[in-house]
Amino acid sequence: MNTPTRLRVRRIALAVNPSKSGADGLAAELEACARERNIETCRVDAFPVPADGLAGFDLCCVLGGDGSILGVVEAAAREGVPVLGFNFGALGFMANFSAEEARSVFPGIIGGKPCTIDQRAVLECRDATGAWAFALNDVVVKTLTPRLARLQVRSGDHDINDYYADGVIIATPTGSTAYNVSAGGPIVHPNARAIVLTPINPHTLSNRAIVLDEETSLRIDLRSGPDEVRISCDGRSIFDTATAFPLHVTTCRDLRFPLIQHDDYSHFHVLRHKLQWTGNAPFRLSR
């Protein structure tokens, strides 16, 4: 369990998604609240935020949805800047504070009230040229045509499998509720120390998702298949496919993504609410 942390806030970055109705208005309210306490604010307009875009800030408020939060992952992880997400999107697994809650939560946090900060695992993906990228949700290798690809996945000296499929997903526990779950992968608690490897539409029905230890280092080789293959981190295309393989994917040991949560945060409540799980009604036998 995380120990509540008291933040010393002097500079705040506001990452505002202007396409979300109401986001600009709430940003103006937060700016006014900060000014009353002589706290500097600065709006960040570039998405994704540049790697050094949060240097010198003590807090980053994201006004948008989970997609907007993905745009600040690398910058926040590099600088260790806690992220407070206000949800203007559809699901809000990470941006889990509502706009209404902002008016009570924000003044408390910048005023020194202790808050709960999750340290979420981040994946590091490197290609054959040494270029790299970070992902909070997942690294995905996927074909762009109806043809299947043959992808060899190894862990160290051990072969995991040769997947004949539309692609593979390597997901963090945080990302297990994203593309991974749509592809039939398991939901993993965000505090679990794990990586999920899930094939996308495998040709062999016995191929299933695998939950691996967080320390696992994966190597992905494209053995055969179409020329059109997309490599993405958190939905953003990365690398030149012609020179990218083999890919190396690991959990980043030096960086974590600091995400502020409700003090009474329950992942199970989030799942029931956001995924609209049923089955909680009393079971009755008809006669």
* Three-state SS at 143: strand
Which of 133-169 are b and which e, b meaning 16 or more Cβ less than 10 Å from the residue's Cβ? bbbbbbbbbbbeeeebbebbbbbeeeebbbbbbbbbb
Q: Which residue has the tokens 């990302």?
A: 175
Greatest alpha-carbon pair distance for the chain in Å reads 69
Cα distance between residue 199 and residue 243, in whole Å: 22
Which residues pair with residue 140 across a beta bridge? 169, 232
Residue 130: count other Cβ atoms within 10 Å of its Cβ: 7
Q: Is 66 a catalytic residue?
A: yes
* Three-state SS at 26: helix
The catalytic position among 66, 118, 127, 234 is 66
Q: Which residue has the tokens 């540049």?
A: 50
Assigned token pair, 73 = 């992952």
Which residues pair with residue 117 across a beta bridge? 260
Q: Which residues are catalytic?
A: 66
